[in-house]
Structure 1
Amino acid sequence: MDKDKIKNNFSKSAPTYDQYADIQKEMIAALLSNLSFAFQNILDVGCGTGFSTIEASKKFPEAKVTGIDIAPGMIKQASLGKRGNNNIDFMLGDGEEIPLEDSQFDLVISNASMQWMNCEKFFLEIARVLQPKGTFCFSTYGPATFCELKQAGFSVNNFLPKEKLYGLLSSCFDEISINKMIVKKKYQSIFDLFAYLKGIGARYSFGAKNKGLFTKSKIASLFPDFGRNICVTYEIYFGNCHGIKKQLYPLIGN
């Protein structure tokens, strides 16, 4: 993945992100609702504008919560929304190379951000910064996301299937569960969907198979059904992982 492009896209969208991120807000609410243990030290990877970090702090008011994101603009926006909460810190950081010491956190969360990372590297980093009996919870998108666009001939970014995620996670964690939720979202037209994705910085590579470069009029002529109200699918996975594999201990100093 082109990390410079990811940084730039999300930094540009930082001022508008919360205005558009309704799906992501639903995802973090569902993710946190499944947690009840009194966690004390929490890391939020891919924190964006800090909405998920602040929600985690509300859920666990006694905890220290650290949010990291690869996009400088997102961290700047997150810091503006901190509102004097001394239990929250934000810092620039890549989920594949987390700039924090080993075994610090009893909970790591990641909301709607894993698709921008190399998951194999990311999971190893999570295992490194988690305490041996710590918990990793995440939400991400499944391959049925935007299936309507794929069926219409658009070339859409591929998301990892559940089986692939489970295989990667099983190399790092003792206990793994992955649950699925399907959300249907309506947009006035495909152009409103593209505007939404641009607003949250998610510049997915929507092209067309063997159609050449698209203009607005060309999209409208090739896919007339997408010129009016459309409904698209979001397939969402929620993962809960507990305990670091013992064979990783020598690598992370445990």
Structure 2
Amino acid sequence: MMAVESLPTSECGSDGRPDKRLIGRSFGAAAERYDGLAELQRRVGEKLLSRLAGMSLGPERIVDAGSGTGYLATRLIELYPKADLVALDIAEGMLRFAKSRYGESGAGRLVCGDAEAMPFRDRSIDLVFSNVAIQWCSGLDSVFREIGRVLRPGGIALFSTFGAETLKELRSAWASVDDYSHVNRFGDSAAVRSALREAGFQEIDVAAEVHRLEYGSVYDLMRELKGLGAHNVTLDRPRHLTGKGALRRMIAAYERQSGGSGLDATFEVVYGCARGPAKCR
């Protein structure tokens, strides 16, 4: 792929939006180990690709929004070899890794930028593809408005995102310790559908599925989340180091929830497919 083009990211505002710079740094630092840990993300992405393969599309311009290490971007190039593909990610470290991994073999561009402020003209993209990335945006309304802006009328948005049930066990365990937000919050399928409708999308298809992954310990789960770069970016997260006592109480609460029969963590995945709005909103 070509050189990484950089665009500015934003700081966290006082309205509770995620800290975009923190997100970029966290995922950038995780780039080299990400693919080795992201088994669920890869399975979800493969399901999206399978759906694309069953659709009669011939897109000329594609954006992979939140492309990460470029694994799915290269698959999109294989599926649509004549298309102009842009791999867009807020984490420059991810894109540098993608560039070193695939060299000049790809047919697309790597652009470091925000999915809520994409550097593309109105109505210039045929397909926006995004795999478990839009949950890191400030809000579903803003990201779908932006996707709707860049899509040509009738263009396709195909995406997955984490839903509200994700990491509910970890969230509940922390809630028994203090009132801080220790776990990122995500929207449910109804919120996704509503935001798409509000942004003017048509032929909306939204569905959710739940995955329960088993871990040897709470530490194993937390190490995996850290390794993936999935840090807590909520505004009301604790700004101090978590004490050992609080951590022990959280772990004890999590283990009580699991009842001693293995330690599960829930990941809800929301899938969406919709046609772009007839006019920009």
Please confirm whether the aligned pair reaches a TM-score higher than 0.5, indicating the same fold: yes
1:1-254 equivalences in 2 (<5 Å):
1-35=18-52, 36=55, 37-118=57-138, 119-154=140-175, 155-172=182-199, 173-204=201-232, 213-215=242-244, 217-225=248-256, 229-246=262-279, 248=280
Q: Match of 1:16, SS? A: helix
Distance 1:134 1:245 in 2: 10
- Aligned-partner residue type, residue 53 of structure 1: A
Q: 1:208 to 1:133 in 2, by over 3 A?
A: closer
Distance 2:156 2:221 in 1: 34
- 1:85, CA displacement in angstroms? 2.6
Higher-strand-fraction structure: 1
Distance 2:98 2:173 in 1: 37
- 1:63, CA displacement in angstroms? 2.2
For residues 33-90 of structure 1, the C-alpha deviation after alignment (integer angstroms, 9 at most, x for no partner) is 1112232321011111111211222222332221011111111111112243342221
Distance 1:41 1:182 in 2: 32
Any conservation in 1 of the 2:169–2:254 contact (CA below 8 Å)? no
How many residues were matched structurally?
246
Percent of pairs with identical residues: 31
- Aligned-partner residue type, residue 114 of structure 1: I
Any conservation in 2 of the 1:189–1:228 contact (CA below 8 Å)? no
Structure 1 residue ranges without an equivalent (≥5)? none
Aligned-CA RMSD value = 2.5
- 1:102, CA displacement in angstroms? 2.2
